[in-house]
């Protein structure tokens, strides 16, 4: 946190820094992490996992839909 404030002080005045920090939401930080392929829980790398999900048979043939999700390579959490 102190490091962040030092960086902010190079560009903003205290009133602006307080407003900026006040606007940071845990949800936004988590979203930012996931957007950059970083696990918000353990900071591990997120990897794309592809798998096929069984769907109801189509004209008597087994049907599958290709699905994918983001999984943390360290803690295994799915996003």
* Whole-Å CA distances, 39 to 33, 67, 71: 6, 20, 8
In the complex with Zn ion, the residue whose CB is nearer, 36 or 54, is 36
| Nearest distance, CB of residue 67 and Zn ion, angstroms | 20
Helices assigned H by DSSP within 10-58: 14-22, 26-35
Q: Are 45 and 53 in contact (CB under 8 A)?
A: no
Question: Under the rule (CB under 5 A), what is the footprint of Zn ion?
Answer: 39, 41-42, 44, 72, 74-75, 77
In the complex with Zn ion, the residue whose CB is nearer, 20 or 75, is 75
In the complex with Zn ion, the residue whose CB is nearer, 11 or 36, is 36
């Amino acid at each position: 946190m102190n490091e962040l404030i030092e960086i902010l002080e190079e560009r903003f005045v205290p009133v602006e820094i307080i407003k900026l920090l006040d606007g940071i939401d845990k949800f936004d930080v988590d979203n930012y992490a996931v957007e950059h392929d970083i696990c918000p829980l353990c900071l591990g790398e997120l990897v794309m996992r592809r798998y096929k999900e069984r769907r109801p048979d189509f004209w008597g043939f087994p049907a599958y839909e290709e699905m994918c999700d983001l999984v943390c390579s360290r803690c295994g959490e799915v996003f």
